[in-house]
Structure 1
Amino acid sequence: MSKKFTTSIVFTACLSFATLSVASDLSPFDNAVALFKSGQTEQAIALFEKQKENPNALVYLAKIYMDIDLDEAEDWIEKALSLSSKDAETYYIRGAIMGRQASGSIFSALSYAEKSVNSFTQAVELEPDSIKYRNGLMQFHTSAPSIAGGDLDIAKEQLEKIKQLDPKAGLEAEINYELSQDNDVLAENLLQQAKLTYKDLPDFYFQAGMYQQRSENYQAAFEELSTAIDKEAKTEESILAKYNALYQLGKTAVLGEKNIVAGIAALQEFIDKAPDLDGMSPKPWAEFRLANLMALNSQKSEAKVIYLRLAETDNQELSKQAKKAAKKI
């Protein structure tokens, strides 16, 4: 499988660290969601597992286990699908899970890739006006090799549909499409056009910052992300761009080992103020990046406290990295 395919179809669950007890006036499902969003993952899992006839609870379990155990995530999403075979979101999450399975498997990669594309396709068929689902299908086809079902003609079809649904979302999708095909000059020109057309929004400055970060142009990324943070955000898409820019500015400071103080401030603001929205960068990882910067800023004792706490998280990759970082201090 190509590197692009292994990295593109990723679902990240959002967590926050506020303490929260179970509220008696909420339903069992809403209580479980609240526990999950507060970072009390084990308690949330236990409560979700008691609701095995509720497909929404099973979808949440699948989301949680995507960062813990992909096989377990696959089991839960298949159970959810057996209870609700006409739910677009269930198919979308299944597509993401199968995409991850494909990227991590040698012998079953093609089988998982087929399940992934079929799931994204079904989500689009069930809700054809969903930009999110069409983006998921487009990203599959731009990142998967043809042997795994990737088809650029289908990707272009999704791009045109997104443009028809929403010109701004279409421009974002077009930039991502050109980047996926290594058409960097064209993508850069589109980004410049987008920043002029939507100059009062953070969205395209954030997208430009991510492009520069991936290109390892860390100072340019820092400047684009700083501009995104300064813009006003009113829609959910712009709020996501603004707060994710805070997270990515901190990550950029880690990667470039520059603008350390600004990176610390950005991550602290993200952790304190970022709202709980789908697509928001995960706060546990923000705390890990914050610890990285503290270590670079001669605040090693504070960094180690954060590392040791994160080492106990349910997220296996985060726990592994936190333990490794703690040992270096």
Structure 2
Amino acid sequence: MRLFIVFLCCALSSVSYAFEPLDGKFSQDPGVVLFESYQYDDAERYFKDHLSGQGDLYELSLLYLAKLSVLRNDGKKAVDFIEKSLAIEPNGVDEMILAGDAYCIRAMQVSMFRALRLGRACGQWYTRAADEHPENIQALRTAIQFHLDAPSIAGGSMNKARAFLDKLTDVSEEDARIINVLFVQENDSDQQAMALANSFASMPYTNPRTAYDLASFFKRQNNVDKALELFSQVIAERSDDVENWHVTDAYFQLGDLLITTGTNLKEGIALIEQYIATSHDEYDDHYFWSRLRLAKAYKEMGNDLEYEELLALIQSKDYSHDSGFKKAFDDHLKH
């Protein structure tokens, strides 16, 4: 049970999809602008100052405070803020997905008995988002992933995963490709999933996210050649789209592959340096990992000064919200 919750929180609580609650009509609100520019402490102060009011700005403040709590891995606050927001109807699709994220993160931080209840709540909100918004790709993808990975005792249902996958295929066949691969991997075998992924690799991609997702599958399966090919494709076709998370992160993924496989250390360093030039969100999944990877590469190249500077930079930041990185970095410092 806990393993599936950990997976969901890692995979689904990222900031890689657009968060536009209340139909995006507050996109120019000062607090939203602060949030979008990663000035999270200032955004938090702004939204807390508006908790005493009512109406849309009050609800907006609750939603963004819940989102900030999710980013900071503070499940208790995330659930508290999102439940207050959910009490104000109607509930939007971004709000429902965020509710699922909040309950999943909180489930990681409590006893197993409470985790089961919270895990079910997580799945219920993901499912409701997909049921009520069957045209929303993110809602469908999130619900499918939940039902694909969650045990039945926590609300997972392979039948629901299949039904949502059919809907996703109707809405966007391109987005459904990677989910089909994961579905085959879960129900059949890695070999069959790889064969299906290979058949998808030669197809055209109009959305960098879908090509990125398939490249990430190949990377996880240690199919280095295909991963290199697809990450390179994402960069080559959309290199000017610096606002797209999947495009910018592809620089890190490609650089990481070139370094770890020993394919081209110098080019790998250059790619991660390009990634870091546009990476300003300390709560991004790869903010700290990219800097540690680059530091190690500098060390391997004999650039001791750059290595020490990056280590000092990481140490000056608060990375405690990323427990996996904290352990890896602390272990690195010991050795």
TM-score range, shorter chain: 0.7 to 0.9
Quick one: structure 1 residues 70 and 179, their matched pair in 2 at CA, closer, same or farther if it must change by over 3 Å?
A: same
Q: Alpha-carbon deviation of 1:62?
A: 1.8
Corresponding residue of 1:139: 145
- 1:230 paired residue number: 236
Q: CA deviation at 1:44?
A: 1.9
Counting only pairs closer than 5 Å after superposition, residues 1-329 of structure 1 correspond to structure 2 as 1=1, 3-9=3-9, 10-13=12-15, 30-52=29-51, 53=54, 54-68=58-72, 69-105=74-110, 106-181=112-187, 183-198=189-204, 205-218=211-224, 221-232=227-238, 239-253=244-258, 255-256=260-261, 259-273=264-278, 283-318=287-322, 320=326, 324=330, 327-328=333-334
Contact 2:99–2:125, Cα closer than 8 Å, also in 1: yes
Residues 35, 309 of structure 1: alpha-carbon distance in 2 compared, 3 angstrom cutoff: farther
Residues 264 and 293 of structure 1 are in contact (CA less than 8 Å); yes or no, is this contact kept in structure 2? yes
Paired with 2:214 and 2:15, the residues of 1 have a C-alpha distance of: 24
Equivalent-residue separation in structure 2 for 1:300 and 1:48 (angstroms): 43
Aligned partners of 1:79, 1:314: CA distance in 2, in Å?
29
Contact 1:101 1:112 (C-alpha < 8 Å) held by counterparts: yes
Deviation at 1:161, TM superposition (A): 0.4
Q: What displacement does 1:233 show?
A: 7.1
Deviations 1:258-281 (A, max 9, x none): 5332222222222335799xx986
Tell me the distance in 1 between the aligned counterparts of 2:49 and 2:312: 31
Percent identity between matched residues is 24
Contact in 1 for aligned 2:175/2:210 (Cα 8 Å): no
Using CA pairs under 8 Å that are at least 6 residues apart, name the structure with larger relative contact order, 1 or 2: 1
Distance 1:201 1:79, change over 3 A: closer
* Distance in 2, Cα, partners of 1:185 & 1:36: 43
Change (3 A) 1:130 1:221: same
Aligned equivalents of 2:188 and 2:255: distance in 1?
26
Deviations 1:214-257 (A, max 9, x none): 224556534442343223479999x5543332122234356546
Determine the structure 1 residue equivalent to 2:19: none
For the structure 1 residues 42 and 185, does the alpha-carbon distance in structure 2 shift closer, same or farther, using more than 3 Å as the test? same
- Unaligned stretches of 5+ in structure 1? 15-26
More displaced, 180-189 or 87-96?
180-189
2:23 aligned partner: none
Q: Say if 1:196 and 1:219 are closer, same or farther in 2 by CA, change over 3 A.
A: closer
Distance 2:189 2:261 in 1: 25
Q: Is the 8 A contact 2:181 2:193 kept in 1?
A: yes
TM-score with structure 1 length normalisation? 0.79
Q: Is the CA contact (8 Å cut-off) linking 2:298 and 2:306 kept in structure 1? A: yes
Separation of aligned partners in 2, 1:200 and 1:305: 39
* More moved, 142-151 vs 81-90: 81-90
Offset at 1:299?
A: 2.9
Please state how far the C-alpha of 1:313 moved relative to its aligned partner.
Answer: 3.5
Where 1:83 maps in the other structure, the secondary structure is coil
Residue in 2 aligned with 1:19?
none
- CA drift of 1:294 comes to 2.6
Shift of 1:89: 1.0
Cα contact 1:120–1:136 (8 A) shared by 2 = yes
Q: Does the C-alpha gap of structure 1 residues 186 and 200 become closer, same or farther in structure 2, counting only changes over 3 Å?
A: same
Aligned partner of residue 12 in structure 1, secondary structure: coil
Task: State which drifts further: 300-309 or 111-120.
Answer: 300-309
How far apart in 2 are the matches of 1:259 and 1:227? 18
Task: After superposition, give the CA deviation of every residue in 1:142-188 in whole Å (9 maximum; x if it has no partner).
Answer: 01111111110000000000011122122232123223446323322
Do 2:59 and 2:85's aligned partners in 1 also have CA atoms closer than 8 Å? yes
Contact preservation (8 Å) 2:126, 2:143:
yes
